[in-house]
Amino acid sequence: MKAVNYEVYQKAKNEIIGGVEYKEHTSMEDGRIVKTYATEKNGVFHEITSNGVTEFWSDKHPDSRRYDGRTSEEIISQYEEVIAYYKKENANLTVLKNEYQRSFNDKSVLVCNLLETIKELKAKLTAIQTLTKEVAA
């Protein structure tokens, strides 16, 4: 999809609705503003706007283009929001990773202790079996 400036967007829109009667239809779909401008003479102009970016096309020019109507400050603000969200999620992930690692380490220590206990119990069992054989003999 080709990115264009405001003038190209406005020219494409005026090519359809400029100087003629048109019917406008506006709706919301998935948080996006969907508009159509229909004329009898020049066809239909379509635009979908989401987060300040408008995608548009018409019957005369069916190739989809987009116009970013956000200012530099708005774009920077949106990127800052995304970065802040990323940092927050990264911190949450680090906490979860550390908790998992602690849990894994705790379980590893528990397994080692159990293995050591099994060795001790086997040694005691062997000693008891030896004593039992000596007493029986």
Report the C-alpha dihedral over residues 9, 12, 13, 17, rounded to 10 degrees: 170
Convert the pLDDT of each residue in 55-65 to its tens digit: 999 999 999 99
> How would you label 47-73 residue by residue, b for 16+ Cβ within 10 Å and e otherwise?
bbbeeeebbbbbeeeeeebbbbeeeee
Pick from 40, 69, 98: which residue ends a domain? 69
Phi, psi (degrees; rounded to nearest 5) at 129: -60, -40
Pick from 20, 48, 69: which residue ends a domain? 69
- Total domains present in the chain: 2
pTM for the whole thing? 0.54
Q: Are strands 2-4 and 65-68 parallel, antiparallel or unpaired?
A: parallel
Convert the pLDDT of each residue in 84-131 to its tens digit: 999 999 999 999 999 999 888 888 888 988 999 999 999 999 988 888
User: Which of left, alpha, beta for 92 (phi over 0: left; psi -120 to 50: alpha)?
Assistant: alpha
Quote the domain boundaries for residue 129.
71-137
Strand ranges for the chain from DSSP E: 2-4, 23-29, 32-39, 43-50, 53-58, 65-68
Whether 75 and 136 share a structural domain:
yes
Pick from 51, 69, 87: which residue ends a domain? 69
Q: Are strands 65-68 and 53-58 parallel, antiparallel or unpaired?
A: antiparallel
Whether 60 and 75 share a structural domain:
no
Convert the pLDDT of each residue in 1-42 to its tens digit: 899 988 999 999 999 999 999 999 999 999 999 999 999 999
